[in-house]
A = this chain, B = another copy of it.
Amino acid sequence: MPSYTAPIRDMAFILENVLDVVHSDVPGYDELETDFISAIFSESAKLCEQILTPLNTTGDTQGCQLVNGVVRTPEGFKDAFEVVKAGGWPGLDCDPEYGGQGMPFVLASAVTEMFSSSNMAFSMYQGLTHGAYSAIYAHGTEQQKQTYLPKMVSCEWTGTMNLTEPHCGTDLGLMRTKARRETDGSYSISGQKIFISAGEHDLAENIIHLVLAKIEGAPEGIKGVSLFIVPKFLVNENGSLGQRNALSAGKLEEKMGIHGNATCVMNYDGATGFLVGEAHKGMRAMFTMMNEARLGVGVQGYAQAEVAYQNALSYAQDRLQGRSVIGVENPDGPADPLIVHPDIRRNLMDQKSFVEGARAFTLWGAHLIDRHHRLNDKAADGLVSLLTPVIKGFLTDKGFDMCVQAQQVYGGHGYIEEWGMSQFARDARIAMIYEGANGVQALDLVGRKLAQDGGKHAMSFFELVRNFISENVEVYDNFYKDFLDPLEQASKDLKAGAMYFMNNGMKNPNHALAGSYDFMHMFGHVCLGLMWAQMAKASFDALEKCIDDVAFYETKITTGRYYMQRQLPATAVHLKRIESGADPVMALGVTNF
């Protein structure tokens, strides 16, 4: 069975050395002293390593069962959920007014990674609740907040998001679920929703469904969609549970992975719902929390890669197979460990350099969200809006690829479920699909975010890269050559891609969209390149001070060099593809395939 050790040291490094949180002007960041971070992380690590990790296999093997409308989660999930609730983890970054702990999102994101690595399917029960909390928090009435949020913050009640219908996923304008206004101001909701994660289960006494539906007579398409709270049990005025609402889980989907999470078909048969925010503005309400939610999915992508990497590494260190070509390294054993072989080493370095870069990138994104929420920093909001599709799309694509590479280290054992490596790949696969499939992320990036506010945020990203380079040209020997020069090259490729879109996309938007996926990946590489340059700089700084942990910082720099030399050059081929334009992509007529 796979094991997991939370990468606390690396998380602390990013918060302290890279983001330098304690010296930040963000309200609440002053609390993030070393001891405090360390206390939170070790508590969370203990829970994840000891309780959630062992349940990961159980969840995969047993899955969820739907019997007479009731969903039973896998053995041990309920007890574990009680422990998670008792620790106050679900409300870590929620508003204290509703029982949350008010911690910065950047801290909560690191904790989310641990939860995801140890048990992705389990963590989704609280993850979805957090998403629903955010929507009500941002758009609900004061009464709605008082009624639902305290119970959701504690996860006594969990939440869901109901968007997809059988005939529409991305294109929500086609939605058929109906809402009819009742005389008491509530709505009667009817329709079918699919792919509803945590739609029904036995972990909580109530489930608060957030449902998108069209009010009768609403405008056509996406502009006629409204958001509703539709609780499984209606809530009495005194807060106690009332009548069972007219909704039910019709089916559990059999999925490739995340078996421990109940993915439901939800049927609403005139269920009572309550409008959240304005009528017909449901999409806007959903989009408010999009950056956070998509960042959370990005975390899932690299969190699976992290745990897969840890296990691949320990297998490569233990498994004796073959001999090093440059001389026996384990003369007392029958063979050398796998890790002596260059191609295994390449594989592991791919994984390690990706995961650590992805972690820094995501926590930087979370920090920008904190700046927006806590400082009302509009520039930070603009920048993170630009980066969000990259975090979601690039990190989940690469996260999955790295799980597959980790599986490969195990040879045949990687294909056998007992070893657990297959589960990481199968679980990670969904992150490329949900919360907007990665092709849609690419479309969002190129079709919307890149030019948003006159391209201001893209320009500020490039400026940030340029400034980092110019400020650090001469700080350390070889720093320019090893880190800044490759970053500059990659950034130039990215800019050339953006220019290509500007110059050709006006004539024919397909010239931009045909290259959108490549652009998203190119952008991801540049971001990870920037992260590695920053992490290397922070490591050199730390080494200058001659403190402890020399090996940690040197490893960081060596891993960074790998990324710059072996991964970052990928931007060149992405650019080449982009610059081939729409013609090769669209040349074949729809009927000639």
List residues of chain A with CB under 8 Å of any chain B CB: 164, 167-171, 174, 194-195, 253-257, 313, 317, 320-322, 325-326, 334-335, 337, 339-349, 352, 400, 404, 407-408, 411-412, 414-418, 422, 425-426, 429-430, 432-434, 437-439, 442-443, 447, 508-510, 513-514, 516-517, 551, 554-555, 558-559, 561-562, 565-566, 569-570, 572-573, 576-577, 580, 582, 584-588, 590, 592-593
Which of B340, B342, B508 is in CB contact (< 8 Å) with A582?
Answer: B342
The 9 closest A-B pairs by CB, nearest first: A342-B513, A256-B422, A342-B514, A569-B576, A254-B417, A171-B321, A343-B439, A565-B580, A325-B509
A539 to chain B, nearest CB (A): 13
User: Are A517 and B426 neighbours in the complex by a CB distance under 8 Å?
Assistant: no
Tell me the bound Cα distance from A412 to B168 in angstroms: 10
Give the residues in chain B near A253, CB-CB below 8 Å: 416, 418
Tell me the bound Cα distance from A584 to B561 in angstroms: 7
A438 to chain B, nearest CB (A): 7
A569 to chain B, nearest CB (A): 4
User: Are A513 and B170 neighbours in the complex by a CB distance under 8 Å?
Assistant: no
User: Please, could you name 6 A-B residue pairs with CB atoms under 8 Å apart, sorted by A?
Assistant: A170-B322, A171-B322, A255-B416, A339-B590, A342-B582, A345-B586
User: Are A433 and B408 neighbours in the complex by a CB distance under 8 Å?
Assistant: yes
Give the residues in chain B near A566, CB-CB below 8 Å: 577, 580, 584-585
User: Are B416 and A434 neighbours in the complex by a CB distance under 8 Å?
Assistant: no
Q: A511's closest neighbor in chain B, by CB?
A: B342
User: Are B593 and A348 neighbours in the complex by a CB distance under 8 Å?
Assistant: yes
Give the residues in chain B near A335, CB-CB below 8 Å: 171, 174
User: Are B434 and A412 neighbours in the complex by a CB distance under 8 Å?
Assistant: yes
User: Are B426 and A256 neighbours in the complex by a CB distance under 8 Å?
Assistant: yes
Give the residues in chain B near A516, CB-CB below 8 Å: 342-343
Tell me the bound Cα distance from A577 to B353 in angstroms: 15
**A344 with B590: in contact, given A170-B322, A321-B170, A415-B256 (CB under 8 Å)?**
no
User: Are B415 and A437 neighbours in the complex by a CB distance under 8 Å?
Assistant: no
Give the residues in chain B near A509, CB-CB below 8 Å: 325-326
Which of B334, B345, B408, B510 is in CB contact (< 8 Å) with A437?
Answer: B408
Taken together, the copies of this chain in the complex come to 2
A194 to chain B, nearest CB (A): 8
A422 to chain B, nearest CB (A): 4
Which of B174, B337, B562 is in CB contact (< 8 Å) with A587?
Answer: B562
Tell me the bound Cα distance from A422 to B425 in angstroms: 12
**A514 with B343: in contact, given A171-B335, A408-B432, A584-B565 (CB under 8 Å)?**
yes
Tell me the bound Cα distance from A426 to B592 in angstroms: 29
Q: A407's closest neighbor in chain B, by CB?
A: B429
Tell me the bound Cα distance from A334 to B174 in angstroms: 7
A444 to chain B, nearest CB (A): 11
Tell me the bound Cα distance from A559 to B584 in angstroms: 8
Q: A166's closest neighbor in chain B, by CB?
A: B413
Tell me the bound Cα distance from A593 to B584 in angstroms: 43
Give the residues in chain B near A340, CB-CB below 8 Å: 590
User: Are A593 and B170 neighbours in the complex by a CB distance under 8 Å?
Assistant: no
Tell me the bound Cα distance from A352 to B587 in angstroms: 13
Give the residues in chain B near A555, CB-CB below 8 Å: 588, 592-593
Tell me the bound Cα distance from A422 to B322 in angstroms: 34
User: Are A584 and B562 neighbours in the complex by a CB distance under 8 Å?
Assistant: yes
* A415-B429, A565-B580 given; 6 more Cβ-contact pairs under 8 Å: A317-B593, A343-B439, A346-B517, A555-B592, A562-B588, A566-B580
Give the residues in chain B near A587, CB-CB below 8 Å: 558, 561-562
Give the residues in chain B near A255, CB-CB below 8 Å: 415-417, 422
Which of B334, B433, B559, B565 is in CB contact (< 8 Å) with A588?
Answer: B559
User: Are B411 and A170 neighbours in the complex by a CB distance under 8 Å?
Assistant: yes
Give the residues in chain B near A592, CB-CB below 8 Å: 551, 554-555, 558
User: Are B317 and A590 neighbours in the complex by a CB distance under 8 Å?
Assistant: yes
Tell me the bound Cα distance from A580 to B486 in angstroms: 13
Q: A329's closest neighbor in chain B, by CB?
A: B590
Q: A421's closest neighbor in chain B, by CB?
A: B256
Tell me the bound Cα distance from A340 to B592 in angstroms: 13
Give the residues in chain B near A412, CB-CB below 8 Å: 164, 169, 194-195, 433-434
User: Are A416 and B254 neighbours in the complex by a CB distance under 8 Å?
Assistant: yes
Q: A551's closest neighbor in chain B, by CB?
A: B592
Most B Cβ at <10 Å: residue of A422, A425, A433, A584: A584
Which of B256, B342, B569, B585 is in CB contact (< 8 Å) with A585?
Answer: B342
User: Are B195 and A585 neighbours in the complex by a CB distance under 8 Å?
Assistant: no
Tell me the bound Cα distance from A490 to B45 in angstroms: 48
Tell me the bound Cα distance from A415 to B341 in angstroms: 35
User: Are A437 and B411 neighbours in the complex by a CB distance under 8 Å?
Assistant: yes
Tell me the bound Cα distance from A257 to B572 in angstroms: 36
User: Are B577 and A569 neighbours in the complex by a CB distance under 8 Å?
Assistant: yes
